[in-house]
Amino acid sequence: DAEITQSPRHKITETGRQVTLACHQTWNHNNMFWYRQDLGHGLRLIHYSYGVQDTNKGEVSDGYSVSRSNTEDLPLTLESAASSQTSVYFCASSEGPHTDTQYFGPGTRLTVL
């Protein structure tokens, strides 16, 4: 069955370190998204991609970057981790168009000390 996976599932890091969270989908979807989930804020969009070599900023993109070199993967990089980036991160994908369902990964819980 097609799926979307994230790794690691849990990560503890220190302030200032670079961290990369992996997202891999086997749906062959064009669209991929990264969200962060925080209490009281729901899910907020960080970055998204509509295809290979395409990346776009979401509403909370500061301090994060993504790259899309193939259809299956959209890694999320925290350039210099900050305590404010402690959160649960979800990756999602969809085929499109805009009415299509987004399929979510299991999430990565990141703690920045």
Partner 1 sequence: AQSVSQHNHHVILSEAASLELGCNYSYGGTVNLFWYVQYPGQHLQLLLKYFSGDPLVKGIKGFEAEFIKSKFSFNLRKPSVQWSDTAEYFCAVNADFGNEKLTFGTGTRLTIIP
Q: Which stretch binds partner 1 (CB under 8 A): 19-27, 40-48, 61-69, 75-83?
A: 40-48
Nearer residue to partner 1 within complex by CB, 81 or 110: 110
Cβ–Cβ under 8 Å, residues 4 and 103: yes
**Does the footprint of partner 1 cover residue 43 (CB under 8 A)?**
yes
Residues 58-77 that bind partner 1 (CB under 8 A): 58
**Does the footprint of partner 1 cover residue 98 (CB under 8 A)?**
yes
Nearer residue to partner 1 within complex by CB, 49 or 81: 49
Question: In sequence order, which residues have a C-beta less than 8 Å from that of residue 6 and are 6 or more positions away?
Answer: 21, 22, 23, 24, 89, 90, 91, 105, 106, 107, 108
Cβ–Cβ under 8 Å, residues 45 and 62: no
CA nearest neighbour of 63 among 51, 47, 52 = 47
Residues in touch with partner 1 (CB under 8 A): 31, 33, 35, 40-45, 48, 50, 58, 90, 92, 94, 96-102, 104-107
